[in-house]
Structures are given as structure tokens and as C-alpha cells.
Chains A and B, each alone.
Chain A
């Protein structure tokens, strides 16, 4: 049984001036504990897709089913790491990470243990009492990631989480994410415009067409769970990267 079933979902936005079709009859099935990376040109509707799965917005038509139930709104079973900075500035790092368990009524020592565990996994134990304003962008993203994980979701939705980071920090983040995901596997939908990132992290890479977005093709990533950063230099990796780059260019020219 699939974890998430996206069945011919469309989404159109009506504003005073115009009607934007952000997603057009998109279908996608995601298995339990699978990491699916979604790549596509910017403005194609990737965030819209993630917002639909998160339940922040409702589809104009079609259905999104998670564990046999239709998504009806946001819930703690689907944690989100946003494209923009969403760490609460008024809470310390530890209190940010503790936010999910606190909202869900988990108390005292159990909560503290969980917080400690995930802070350690993302390498932020030394910054538990620090306010976010004193952290770098990469560290804030790690707080975001730890906060999402600590909340104990079934599904993790990440929207270009590392898009604003430099390459070195980004590589650190990949490693951190891989470590957390190995310690506690989850169904992960990871939106990015970085093909290498998608190939390095994903079990499958979904290529979207330009707006209105739909699934252009799905690439199975043949590398095992144990991936080192140097994997990117392998000919097989590069060949896949070129293949995806080609299909992105192709859909782009096709649309233009």
C-alpha cells in the first residue's frame, strides 16, 4: 500500500487580475519510507504541490490520499521544512526543537530526551540555549530540520530547504539529513531545483514540466543507501545528471 497517492490533482489560483493554473492533473505515488526528490524550473508549481500535501491549501480537483485518508488540512503527521526561514526567533534552539512535542502534549523528561537526541543528530547540541539570530543560515536550517523530525511526523516535506546555502554548507546539510533519515527513516518529499542534490538524496527523482506543472518523468536512482559526497564524480552519477538536465531543457523548450 502506497503512503501518499496524488491522483490527478489540479490547482488554480484566482486573483483579481488573472487565473493561474499552478498544477495540472498531476499524479504521483510515493511509497512508505521513500525519499522522492521533485525537480523542476522555478515557478512551475513545486511549492504548490508541497502545500497541497501539507494541507495548507486544497486542490481545485483531484485527491491526495495519505494512509487511506484524504488530506483535509495541516497536521502533525506531515512536518514541513520551508523554503524561507521558519525558525521561531523568540525561542531558543532547544525550545524551537521542542515546539512539536510541546504542542502535542508530550512532557518533561521524555520531551527533553527527544530534543537532545535530534539536536545531537544535526550537530547543534552546543547551541541549545542560543537564540536563532546568533546562528548562521545553515545552522538555522538544521534547527528547522531537527524541529520537524522531533515532532515525530510520518511524512517530511522539504521545500528547497538548502537553496539559499553555499555549496559547502549544503553538502554538510545533505550529510546531516542523510544521518537523521538513516537513524529514523521517513517518507520524504524533497523539492529542489538542484539536480545533484536530488540525485544524491533521492530514491527517485520526479521531473516536473514548466507551469502548469505535471510529472514529466520519473528517474529511479540506482545508488544504494551508503552514498559518499564523492559519488557525484562517478560517471554513472554524471550520466544521470545529464539525462535529467536534458529532459528539463527539453520540457522547457517544448513549453516556450
Chain B
């Protein structure tokens, strides 16, 4: 019998990971546009402050005063940034991991879903920051309370993401696994979990940004170290260059963390079709 089944060539339109639906010409301009916008903003910042002195130092500190703040604070800035980053990463990893585990358990056991869902739905819309007074009463102003708040925020995101994603796994995958000999546990380990990895990773990204916001806000109300404390202290003396420096620090750390996560997730989900 003739071998009529020479493999078809791979589909041509499988675009490399990380590219979007933009046509090729726009795609190449993308990073240039981003760099251009950031650069123009920096120049505009310098022009309105140091260059033309249209805006006073108090309202918008100049780049030079930011540099002065960096050199004055020196190691203290590093210590504060380190304290914040440490709390963010610890609460983010802890809260997210717990969220995934509980979310999977809820997807697997109906009764657990019924038991936990009302609590989660009730707590979810509450901004974690609103709980700060309680957290200070319960845990004092040490690390524990800040870790708790950051973890709570990440947990909420992940538990909801995970249960929804697990419920959306195409039933045909579950049936296929069953008819290939998978038992209950196998279906969860080898089908549900890998199938929802993209959603879990996007939850991680949302969670990391949220953890920064919550941890810094908790630091405002009392901490022995941290960017939040730095900003709060500086704002009492209207030292706006330090306030601005603090926010720039948060932004930089958040962007770097986000980049790390998205690089890792691009690799881990390299199997996923681009949409």
C-alpha cells in the first residue's frame, strides 16, 4: 500500500511566543514606542523642574533632588527596599500557594466548595487595607500582620482563579484521560493541574502587584523598616523628593518582579496557543 500519509507541514501561522496580533510592521515599533514615551516623560520631567523651574521643588521634585535623596539615604534606602521586597515575596508566595491548593481542593470536592464559597465571596470585595486596624490589634505592627495582609490578598486572587480555571477545563480532556486509564487522582495531577497552569501564572502576576500595594499600605501605619515607612516619615516633613523616590522604588521592584514572573511563565506555558 502506498504511504499516502506524508506528514503535513506544520501550520505556518504559529507565531513565536510573546508576539501579539499586531501586524509585523507595528510589532517592531512596539518597544521603540515604549522607550520613546518613557524617555520623553523623563525629559519633560527635567524640563519642568530643573530646566525651566516652572514647577516648584515641593510639588514635583527634580531629578537632581532625587539623586541627592538617594545618596543621603544610602544604605537605609536599600534596607527599606529590602524589607518591603522580602515581605512582598514571602506573602505572595505563601498566599498564592495556599490559594492554589485550596482552589484545587474546592474544585475537587463539592462540599468544600459549598463550605468555603460564601466566606470567600464575602471577603473578596473587601480591600485588605480596610482590615489594617484589626491586623494591628491582632498581630501588632511587626512583620506578621503585613505578611498576613499580603498573603490574604494573593490567596483571594488565586483561590478564585483556580476554582474557575479548574471548572473550565474542557470535559473532553477529563473523559479522554479516564478512557486511557487515569484514576481520580491522576485526572487531577496529570490533566486538571497542567491544564490550568496558564491561569495560575496569570493569577501570580496579578497577585504580585497586589502584594506590593497591600504591604506598602500596611507599612504606612507602622513599621520599623520598609518603603511604606520611608514614604510616611518623609511626608510628615514634606520631604517630597524622598516620597517620590519611595514610589519610584516600589514601581521598579514591582516591574522587575513582574518581568521575572512573565519570563518564567512564558517558558512554562510555551505549549499554549497564542490568542
Contacts and interface: CB of A to CB of B under 8 A. Distances in A.
Contacts of A30: none
A199 B180 CA distance: 28
Contacts, number: 111
B181 A103 contact: yes
B190 A103 contact: yes
Contact of A126 (B5, B7, B170): B7
Contacts of B181: 75-76, 100, 103-104, 151
Which range holds the interface residue count of chain B? 20 to 34
B79 interface: no
B7 A123 contact: yes
Interface string B188-208: 001100110100000000000
A74 B172 contact: no
Interface residues of A, number: 53
Contacts of B237: none
B6 interface: yes
Interface in A54-92: 54-56, 73-76, 78-80, 82, 84-86, 88-91
Given A90-B195, A176-B5, A134 B179 contact: no
Given A104-B181, A151-B181, A175-B1, A54 B7 contact: no
Nearest to B3: A123
Most chain B beta-carbon contacts within 10 A, residue among A74, A126, A139: A74
B152 to A, nearest CB: 30
Interface in A137-172: 138-139, 142, 147-148, 151, 153, 157, 169, 171-172
A223 to B, nearest CB: 15
Contacts of B177: 99, 103
A136 interface: yes
Contact of B271 (A89, A103, A147, A171): A89
Interface of B: 1, 3-11, 14, 170, 172-173, 175-183, 186, 190-191, 194-195, 197, 270-273
Interface of A: 54-56, 73-76, 78-80, 82, 84-86, 88-91, 99-100, 102-104, 122-124, 126-127, 130-136, 138-139, 142, 147-148, 151, 153, 157, 169, 171-173, 175-176, 178-179, 228-229
11 contacts: A74-B175, A74-B178, A74-B179, A75-B179, A80-B175, A90-B271, A100-B180, A103-B180, A134-B10, A139-B7, A169-B8
